[in-house]
A and B are shown apart, each in its own frame.
Chain A
Amino acid sequence: MSESTNPSPPLLRVRNLSTGFETPRGLLWAVDGVSFDLDQGRTMGVVGESGSGKSVLVRTVMNLLAANAVVPDDGEVLFRGRNVRDLDAIEERHFWGTEMAMVFQDPMTSLNPVKRIGRQLTESIRFHLGLDDDAATERALELMNQVGIPEPKKRLRQYPHELSGGMRQRVVIAIALSCSPKLLIADEPTTALDVTVQRQILDLLGRIQRETDMAMILITHDLGVVASYTDEIAVMYGGQIVEHAATSDLFEDLAHPYTEALLASIPRIDLPSHARLQAIGGRPPDMVAPPPGCRFAPRCAYRTDECEAAIPELISVADRMHTCRCIRPLVSHRDVAEAVVAPNRPGSS
């Protein structure tokens, strides 16, 4: 299992994790056999179309699932060597916030509309750090400064609707940071914000991540955005990681046809793209009855009959840390791939 040369175990180790949901149509596998490691101080981007299972993946990692979720026992989430799924209710409450924290997509809905900002900020500080009111308020003001909220004293007494979207998201980030988590998960933290603010929020997350040396998982639809903020990127499709590599490797030597399709829909890689990804031809797979072989095969420009025979393994391409779930990754066939227009690529690996 351990392919890392790093002697100490990673902060977060996910192994063969699957999450299904009982639905009226049958079991829906939203996450299907995902494995990855994340070290302290690193930022991992998770990209993929809507419905590819990004949110379900991180919610499973945090052990925060709906009642109709099914997680098979062979899936493991080891955080600092402990299986998150073994935590009991009390341990869990201390674990959330101090070990892992989460920033949600929509700051509109992640703050309670009828509670003052101050109370929302200090509640978890008081609970986790055991501080009294004054000390908690002090800490809250400190956090608000850290996330760049002007006039923090005044904000403490305000309600969420009195703040702009960007300010609200800063409050949400401050709450997530309040107990110095070791891992921060940001699930599309900027999707609900307007373009000028998106960049500020990502810069803020990046700066805080560097300052505190925590690990971060940054989820987004937008490959262009993650590029400048992440150390590595995992591309998800149909509940599986189809490609996982260091950010620079991914852009230089992309291996999976889906990654290529994602990238093709961004006009420029080096400029942040604020546009949502254009839809790739075809529809995302039906997760209750996924296609038998490679999940992307029905939409893939390079499909062969072989692709539909069995689900491809995650294999190393180019270098060992760069993995890809494709029987004929593009890296080794770049020239061929570019030469061929027809969907059926002649020759085989």
Chain B
Amino acid sequence: MSAPGRSDAVIAGRLPLNHRSGLFGAGLLVAGLVLTWVSLMRLDASAGFIKYILVAVALGAVFQGLKLVSKWIFGPLFDLGLWLSALWISLLVLIAVFADLLPLRESRDVSQALQAPIRQRPNLFSSHPLGTDAQGLDILGGLVYGARVSLIVGFGAVLIGITVGLTVGLAAGYYRGKLESAVSFLTDSMLAFPPLILLLAMVAVLSPTVANVTVALAVISVPTYIRLARANTLAFAQREFVLSARLLGERNPAIISRELLPNVLLPVVSFSFVIIAVFIVTEASLSFLGLSISRPNPTWGNMIAAGETRLNDHPHAVAVPGVALFLTVFSFNRIGDRARKMWDPREAKL
């Protein structure tokens, strides 16, 4: 059922736009940009704390201004946060894929970075735009290669989880019977085991490579995926279109893959964005603790750990990967929220 509120909102979207708020937004945007530039470039370190507060205020103004302007241009339904999230994730994926082609300074091998200044502050117009760390390694480079690790681990674990979870969950939910009982018993037992302990045990036993961490996280997610897939399969398998597919000559495997899978996939995928965010944080925490990928391979977690000792006078070594982590997790959650609203059968307008 399409909710009345929804169509009202669409109608509201066609109402004449408010030019005054648009112009105000443009002003705010410009002021915010100027303030950002001034506070980042013109204030030196002596400003200290004040500088960061000013930057935060300036960025807030930029965001609000951009929001008003984008609504002015694209209509009041335009969701700036969502688009910025999508933009950030796309950017991240691009730099992670093409990391080797980018003109980055050495971020891995200390012996190659002997000439580089250590603990250099970020300066967008220098050869180390985001500065260097205690060993002279480039932070931007670390950020890019760290993004690669975060994304591979997040997406990889979720893909494995989805594949296994869907296969098992669909079969259990469709064929029922003994298979379902066995699967339920297994997933329940796995869910009863504290996931953190299981994870720590796995990374302790396995060598900390990207592949192993990915698999360990996937193992944690599989029972949840199986449950989700099974529950959705049960709901859809009762619908008559499944029966009519049988009546029209489809065999069980075809019914599962062509009738049920597309329906079950939507809620499972929309749930996955949130899980990717959780896994990226988990991987960062593990490598912060030295339990996951460690130096010389940069990850956001081990970069934070490395910069932590000089947090007071050189905060950028922690702030840069920290902000990247925050933005990434925030973006995945934001996209996940929207996807759930669109696709989840409980909320969808079907």
Q: Which residues of A contact B (CB under 8 A)?
A: 62, 64, 67, 93-94, 96-97, 101-102, 104-106, 109-115, 120, 123-124, 127-128, 160-161, 172, 175
Contacts and interface: CB of A to CB of B under 8 A. Distances in A.
B218 to A, nearest CB: 26
Given A114-B262, A127-B248, 15 more contacts: A62-B247, A93-B249, A97-B248, A102-B244, A104-B240, A109-B239, A110-B241, A110-B243, A111-B241, A112-B245, A112-B262, A113-B241, A124-B248, A128-B249, A160-B350
A120 to B, nearest CB: 8
Interface in B322-350: 349-350
Contact of B244 (A113, A114, A127, A175): A175
A94 B249 contact: yes
Contacts of A62: 247
B246 A114 contact: no
A106 B240 contact: yes
A110 B247 contact: no
Contacts of A172: 244
B263 interface: yes
Interface string B181-216: 000000000000000000000000000000000000
A217 to B, nearest CB: 15
Contact of A109 (B240, B245, B247, B249): B240
B349 A161 contact: yes
A63 to B, nearest CB: 10
B247 A67 contact: no
B266 interface: yes
B176 interface: yes
Contact of B247 (A97, A111, A113): A97
B177 A113 contact: no
B308 interface: no
B58 to A, nearest CB: 45
A62 B176 CA distance: 22
B40 to A, nearest CB: 48
B248 A96 contact: yes
B244 A64 contact: no
Given A64-B247, A96-B246, A114 B266 contact: yes
Contacts of B239: 109-110
Nearest to A119: B258
Given A67-B176, A110-B240, A123 B248 contact: yes
B249 A97 contact: yes
B344 to A, nearest CB: 13
Interface in B229-282: 239-241, 243-251, 259, 262-263, 266
Contacts of B246: 64, 96
Contacts, number: 62
19 contacts: A64-B243, A93-B249, A97-B247, A102-B244, A106-B240, A109-B239, A109-B241, A110-B239, A110-B243, A110-B244, A111-B241, A113-B241, A114-B266, A120-B241, A123-B248, A127-B248, A127-B249, A161-B349, A175-B244
B240 to A, nearest CB: 4
Nearest to B349: A161
Contacts of B349: 161
Most buried by A among B245, B249, B251, B266: B249
Contacts of B241: 109-113, 120
Nearest to A64: B243
A248 B345 CA distance: 47
A176 to B, nearest CB: 8
B237 to A, nearest CB: 11
Interface of B: 176-177, 239-241, 243-251, 259, 262-263, 266, 349-350
B72 to A, nearest CB: 32
A104 B244 contact: yes
Given A109-B240, A109-B241, A111-B241, A102 B247 contact: yes
B247 A101 contact: yes
Contacts of A123: 248, 250
Closest 4 A/B residue pairs (Cβ) = A124-B248, A110-B240, A109-B239, A104-B240
Contacts of A97: 247-249
Contacts of B245: 112
B99 to A, nearest CB: 37
Given A67-B177, A114-B262, A104 B249 contact: no
B243 A104 contact: yes
Contacts of B250: 123, 127
A179 to B, nearest CB: 8
A104 B241 CA distance: 9
A201 to B, nearest CB: 16
Nearest to B259: A112
Most buried by B among A93, A112, A175: A112
B247 A112 contact: no
Contacts of B177: 67
Contact of A114 (B240, B243, B263): B263
Contacts of A112: 241, 245, 259, 262-263
A106 B240 CA distance: 8
A128 B239 CA distance: 23
Contacts of A124: 248-249
B130 to A, nearest CB: 44
A109 B177 CA distance: 24
Contacts of A67: 176-177
A112 B245 CA distance: 9
B93 to A, nearest CB: 26
Most buried by B among A96, A111, A114, A123: A114
B173 to A, nearest CB: 14
Nearest to B345: A113
A115 B247 contact: no
A12 B78 CA distance: 60
A101 B263 CA distance: 24
A104 B350 CA distance: 18
B174 to A, nearest CB: 12
Contacts of A102: 244, 247
B260 to A, nearest CB: 9
Nearest to B177: A67
Contacts of B266: 114
Contacts of B262: 112, 114-115
A165 B249 CA distance: 25
A161 B240 CA distance: 15
